[in-house]
Structure 1
Amino acid sequence: MNMVLIENAAGSSQVITIIEEFAGHSVSRDLNPGDHAEVLVSQFKSITVRETYPDDWLTRGRNRNRSVSDA
């Protein structure tokens, strides 16, 4: 296995999202400016890194908070 380091530069004002897909499942996480993540990669996993626009980020945060309060 190999490891990839993904870093959102500290001077950036943009949140980025890392999406890992493997075995029919998908896991995503946001990186704020200055954050980094180490991701294990293999031939069975795909990784997508994309900019998360503020509206997307705020909407996902609100939905996440709403689902926690409903539980």
Structure 2
Amino acid sequence: MNMVLIENAAGSSQVITIIEEFAGHSVSRDLNPGDHAEIPVTQFKSITVRETYPDDWLSRGLSRNRAAAA
């Protein structure tokens, strides 16, 4: 199995989001400055890394709160 190491540099002020897609499912996680993630990869998985903006955090938090209340 192959692994990919993704690190958000400690001096960065930007949070990044990693999105893993496989078998019709999607999993995302945020990396704060100084954090890293080791992700196993296969030919059937795609990985997207993008900058996360404060508006994204707010909309995700609101969505989680609505889902928890339902």
TM-score normalised by length of structure 2: 0.88
In the other structure, the counterpart of 1:13 is: 13
**Runs (4+) off by over 6 Å:** none
* Gap runs ≥5 in structure 1: none
Q: Name the % identity.
A: 87
TM-score normalised by length of structure 1: 0.87
In the other structure, the counterpart of 2:43 is: 43
* Gap runs ≥5 in structure 2: none
**Superposed displacement of residue 47, structure 1:** 0.3
What root-mean-square deviation, in Å, do the aligned CA atoms of Structure 1 and Structure 2 show? 1.3
Matched residue count: 70
Which SS does the other structure have where 1:13 is aligned? Answer: coil
